[in-house]
Structure 1
Amino acid sequence: MKQVLVIVLALFIVGCSSTSKVALSEDRFLLTSNDPEYGYTENKPIELGGFLRGTKSAGAHIEYFEGLMGPNGEKVKVTRLGSCCEFEDKSMPFGGGLLDRYQLTYEGQKKPVIIYVNLYKFNKPLAPMGFALL
């Protein structure tokens, strides 16, 4: 009985430790930007739109962050750091807005990264370099 319990416990531990990664195929990185500044600077934010209810991209930022993965399929923890970086855009109803900053971390990462997101405009988003999208 003790042997069975030990085997079950061992399988449980091994099973749980492997759930944080997803095997990535090469095509996952087709959705990753080639631009090293994309998302990492306020001049090239990720345009996720969907901040305003009733827009055609409402909720896009939530789906984006749920699909974001580390380079080896690691689950990414996303922490909103707040708004920053005022920008002007005459095409917007208010003539501009503020970008949001998010911290991205995953298991095994050496240093967290900060990305800039525009929640007012939407363009088909890519993952910043070093990340992948589902």
Structure 2
Amino acid sequence: MKNLFLLFLGCCMFSSCGSKKETLTTINREANRSTVNIDPFFDITENAPDDTYGLIGENPVKVGGQSPSNQRRYLASLAGPEGEIVSFNRKGSCCAYKSENGFNGSALVDVYEVTYEGLKKPINIYISFYDLETLYIPKGFTKRM
């Protein structure tokens, strides 16, 4: 009887987790889309020394903080080439790299899709919150005023 109860409980837990997965994903996607109410970093003033900075997974922006809030603050600090307001949406993670601050010596990079008015195709920006380095403005963007 005890084994039957444990089997029933396990099935309930398994099926309830599976059914909630898509709902949580949808909520997270909407929660990550933002254009307002995020305090930007005002001290990001220099253009990236490298054309790939933040634009490929192998050269991510490293915002530190161990929290997505610094990622959003970084993105809120950017504007389009003519000062356009950017909006962004977290697409997922990729591109593991070695980091003492990550899990078991490895960290992932989060991918954000960035758009602004007049942009024909969204631009992916790659950001890690596990490590911190000097923050720059990626090629094709300006500082938010």
Provide the aligned C-alpha RMSD in A.
Answer: 2.2
In the alignment, residue 127 of structure 1 is paired with which amino acid? I
TM-score (norm 2): 0.62
Note if contact 2:45-2:137 (Cα within 8 Å) is conserved in structure 1: no
The percent identity for this pair of structures is 36
Aligned-residue offset at 1:128 = 0.9
TM-score (norm 1): 0.66
Aligned-residue offset at 1:30 = 4.8
Q: What's the secondary structure of 2:101's corresponding residue?
A: coil
What runs of 5+ residues in structure 2 fail to find an aligned partner? 1-43
Residue 84 of structure 2 corresponds to which residue in structure 1? 74
Note if contact 1:104-1:114 (Cα within 8 Å) is conserved in structure 2: yes
Residue 92 of structure 1 corresponds to which residue in structure 2? 101
Note if contact 1:102-1:115 (Cα within 8 Å) is conserved in structure 2: yes
Question: Higher helix share goes to which structure?
Answer: 2
What runs of 5+ residues in structure 1 fail to find an aligned partner? 1-28, 53-57
Aligned-residue offset at 1:115 = 1.4
In the alignment, residue 63 of structure 2 is paired with which amino acid? L
Q: Which runs of at least 4 in structure 1 moved beyond 3 Å after TM superposition? A: none
* Closer, same or farther: CA 93–67 of 1 in aligned 2, 3 Å: closer
Q: What's the secondary structure of 1:92's corresponding residue?
A: strand
Residue 13 of structure 1 corresponds to which residue in structure 2? none
